[in-house]
Amino acid sequence: MPRSFFRTVLRPVLTALVAASALVAAPAFAKSRIKDIVAFEGVRENQLVGYGVVVGLNGTGDSLRNAPMTKQSLEAMLERQGVNVRDATLNTKNTATVMVTASLPPFSAAGSKLDVNVSALGDAKSLLGGTLLVTSLQGADGQTYAVAQGTVQTGSVSAGGASGSSVTKGVPTAGRIASGGIIERETGFQMVNMDILRMTLRNPDFTTARRIADAVNKKFPGCAQAQNPTIVAVRAPPGMDMISFVTNIENLEVEPDFPAKVVIDEVAGVIVMGDDVRISQVAIAQGNLTISVQETPAVSQPAPFSQGQTAIVPQSTVNVEEEKGKKLLTLGGSPSLKSLVGGLNALGVTPRDMISILQAVKAAGALQADIEVM
């Protein structure tokens, strides 16, 4: 083969292959933006709740006999409208008392609209097509921050027959009013005037908090300090307000760290392991013990002319089977999660058996991770 062919054809191909293999072998570090792993102080929602009345139901509302609060609310509402029904006998099923909930977004201005959720409080069968009357929504401090009103949409279907059979899809006693709430009061939080802002890590960790502080200090020296695994305090540099400062640091990328943990959902049989989970070298043997009980009823006939009675005599057969052929397998001692998973798969067990194995390995002190059972 001539040298010119090697220089012109093979050398570029070999160079490309070497470069490609280097890219594949290089470890990939997943980095996240600061705004995705922290919550900023004061930037939060506030829960609102209120008590209201839904009217206009097609006979699917509360029974006034079983829901006294509905009767009292109906009487009080009519009195405010100049109608006295205190001594009258009310027997309507077109009204239902409900609880109204909503989330007040951060920095919401007065006059802005928000969605509200409506849930039946009494024995109403359905809120479909009802109208929520003006309802005030209060916060945890007892102050009214919004009012709600509008037509309730449940997104459910319900049908019944004369014989009593019925079909229901969805939950007809809970609904939603899109843009049914109007904000009347602001929270009054002024972020722009803050001197120090605290960022709260969604997954507290010493290393992650330190990396966030280092990333901020690299761009704005001396402006960040990790106070604990959860809080990183930042101070805006001179000549910059807090809003502009947060805008500059929230998109900085940081590689988050987290402790080794094994999360187990015993109900669903799900196991989730982090990349840092390791198992020291152990030997494991696993076998199944099956106990089966079989009932075979037998009929006992009395002897002729003995005046006895025919009886059913239970007969039980108990079998105990133990799975054989399982030998001790060596597991662990590898620095990679892939090797750990391969070793567990080599045992050939079900996820539920694997849960028991991991718990036993943890009890033996060979699992270098925390186990969290959901």
- Tally of domains in the chain: 3
209 and 115 within one domain: no
> What are the backbone angles phi and psi of residue 77, rounded to the nearest 5°?
-65, -40
173 and 52 within one domain: yes
100 and 141 within one domain: yes
Distance of alpha carbon 10 from the chain centroid:
55
21 falls in which pLDDT band (50, 70, 90)? very low
Q: Is the pLDDT of residue 330 over 80?
A: no
In a domain, 213, yes or no: yes
Per the model's pLDDT, the better-predicted residue between 87 and 220 turns out to be 220
Q: How far is residue 241's CA from residue 235's CA, in Å, rounded to a whole number?
A: 10
Q: Find the domain containing 280 and state its range.
A: 261-296+314-373
> What are the backbone angles phi and psi of residue 10, rounded to the nearest 5°?
-70, -40
Q: How far is residue 114's CA from residue 178's CA, in Å, rounded to a whole number?
A: 7
349 and 229 within one domain: no
> What confidence tens digit (pLDDT) does each residue in 193-212 have?
888 999 999 999 999 999 99
In a domain, 327, yes or no: yes
> What are the backbone angles phi and psi of residue 169, rounded to the nearest 5°?
-120, 125
Type and span of the H or E element at 247: helix 242-249
Residue 22, pLDDT score: 40
In a domain, 139, yes or no: yes
213 and 107 within one domain: no
Strands 270-273 and 261-265 turn out to be antiparallel
348 and 273 within one domain: yes
In a domain, 163, yes or no: no
209 and 179 within one domain: no
281 and 228 within one domain: no
138 and 107 within one domain: yes
In this structure, what DSSP letter does residue 29 have? P
HEC profile of 78-144: HHHCCCCCCCCCCCCCCEEEEEEEEEECCCCCCCCEEEEEEEECCCCCCCCCCEEEEEEEECCCCCE
Instruction: Dig out the tokens for 154 from the structure.
Output: 């449940």
Q: Is the distance from CB of 74 to CB of 157 less than 8 angstroms? A: no
46 falls in which pLDDT band (50, 70, 90)? very high
208 and 275 within one domain: no
In a domain, 36, yes or no: no
Q: Is the pLDDT of residue 17 over 50?
A: no
Per the model's pLDDT, the better-predicted residue between 289 and 296 turns out to be 296
125 and 55 within one domain: yes
181 falls in which pLDDT band (50, 70, 90)? very high
> What confidence tens digit (pLDDT) does each residue in 65-87 have?
888 898 888 888 888 888 888 77
Q: Which of 148, 183, 218 is the last residue of a domain?
A: 183
Residue 160, pLDDT score: 66
203 and 105 within one domain: no
In a domain, 82, yes or no: yes
Q: Is the distance from CB of 293 to CB of 318 less than 8 angstroms? A: yes
- Please name the residue that has the structure tokens 């009929």: 299
Q: Model's pTM, two decimal places? A: 0.69
In a domain, 79, yes or no: yes
Q: What residue type is 335 in one-letter code?
A: P
> What confidence tens digit (pLDDT) does each residue in 97-156 have?
999 999 999 888 999 999 999 999 989 999 988 999 999 999 999 999 999 999 999 887
